[in-house]
């Protein structure tokens, strides 16, 4: 049985991690991309962010390309009438016995609104899952490995059963400016279609003692 102090610390860690990813969601919707970058680890090697079929962005430079670059390709104008909102539910968090890392998964009901190719706002239901590894730097929890797993993204007028089949790579990826491209291709792709089965990815984390390379991201 670990000391009382260590047990309290672990409970505080869980709360801080929940707040950390919660802050991400509010910042994300409000296009606070600089503040979002600050949520990521700065001193720990191996930082990654992988969103759906967009590929893997590596290191803090990759995180900046993803949030300050790719997320802002549309410029100020694209923010008018757009809304990207994702929630955190069904939380399973495990903090390592050594208190240095943690893993968490969430199911995220949400919605996306943006201009369609005709320049008209289009509303979509967008459900996803998060699998995130965290690391503690100088006493503060940071995002270490971040992975957004799509469930479905469907125009409001159609269900996910009727939605067009997803691409396994980001549409237009080949014409992305070189400086916004991911470092590596997508590592895992699943999205609901009528001919697939549901899987256990990310699997909810099990208790663990020290970092074991069993990332949920």
Gyration radius from the chain CA atoms:
18
Residue ranges with strand state E in 52-211: 56-58, 83-86, 89-95, 101-108, 110-115, 121-137, 140-155
- Which of 41-49, 52-60, 117-125, 166-174 is the region at the interface with a copy of itself (rule: CB under 8 A)? 117-125
Question: Which secondary structure element, helix H or strand E, spans residue 48, and what is its range?
Answer: strand 48-51
How far is 203 from 200, CA to CA, in rounded Å?
5
Q: Which of 18, 44, 169, 186 binds a copy of itself (CB under 8 A)?
A: 18
Q: Which of 26, 43, 184, 187 binds a copy of itself (CB under 8 A)?
A: 26
Question: Which secondary structure element, helix H or strand E, spans residue 8, and what is its range?
Answer: helix 4-29
How far is 96 from 195, CA to CA, in rounded Å?
38
Query: Cβ of residue 184: shortest distance to a copy of itself, in angstroms?
Result: 26
Query: Cβ of residue 204: shortest distance to a copy of itself, in angstroms?
Result: 5
Query: Cβ of residue 66: shortest distance to a copy of itself, in angstroms?
Result: 19
Check binding of 90 to a copy of itself (CB under 8 A). Answer: yes
- Which of 142-150, 164-172, 177-185, 197-205 is the region at the interface with a copy of itself (rule: CB under 8 A)? 197-205
Check binding of 25 to a copy of itself (CB under 8 A). Answer: yes
Contacts of residue 111, defined as CB under 8 A and 6 or more positions apart, other chains included, come to: 83, 85, 123, 124, 125, 126
Note the helical H segments in 89-192.
none
Q: Which of 47, 56, 70, 93 binds a copy of itself (CB under 8 A)?
A: 93
Report the DSSP beta bridge partners of residue 128: 108, 150
Check binding of 74 to a copy of itself (CB under 8 A). Answer: no
Q: Which is nearer to a copy of itself, 87 or 169 (CB)?
A: 87
How far is 76 from 31, CA to CA, in rounded Å?
10
Q: Which of 203, 210, 212, 214 binds a copy of itself (CB under 8 A)?
A: 203
Site of interaction with a copy of itself (CB under 8 A): 4-5, 7-8, 11-12, 14-15, 18-19, 22-23, 25-27, 29-32, 79-85, 87-94, 105, 107, 109, 111, 113, 121-123, 127, 151, 156-157, 159-162, 192-200, 203-204
């Amino acid at each position: 049985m670990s000391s009382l102090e260590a047990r309290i610390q672990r409970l505080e860690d869980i709360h801080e991690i929940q707040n950390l990813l919660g802050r991400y969601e509010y910042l994300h919707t409000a296009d606070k991309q600089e503040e979002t970058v600050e949520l990521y680890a700065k001193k720990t090697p191996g930082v990654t962010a992988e969103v759906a079929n967009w590929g893997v962005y590596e290191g803090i430079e990759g995180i900046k390309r993803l949030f300050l670059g790719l997320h802002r390709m549309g410029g100020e104008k694209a923010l008018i009438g757009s809304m990207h909102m994702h929630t955190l539910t069904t939380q399973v968090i495990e903090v390592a016995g050594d208190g240095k890392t943690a893993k968490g998964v969430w199911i995220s009901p949400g919605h996306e609104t943006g201009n369609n190719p005709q320049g008209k706002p289009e509303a979509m239901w967008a459900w996803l899952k998060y699998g995130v590894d965290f690391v503690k730097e100088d006493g503060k929890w940071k995002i270490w490995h971040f992975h957004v797993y799509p469930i479905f993204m469907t125009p409001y007028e159609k269900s996910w059963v009727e939605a067009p089949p997803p691409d396994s790579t980001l549409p237009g990826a080949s014409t992305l400016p070189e400086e916004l491209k991911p470092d590596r291709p997508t590592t895992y792709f699943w999205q609901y279609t009528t001919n697939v089965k549901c899987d256990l990815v990310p699997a909810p984390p099990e208790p663990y003692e020290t970092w074991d390379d069993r990332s949920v991201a």
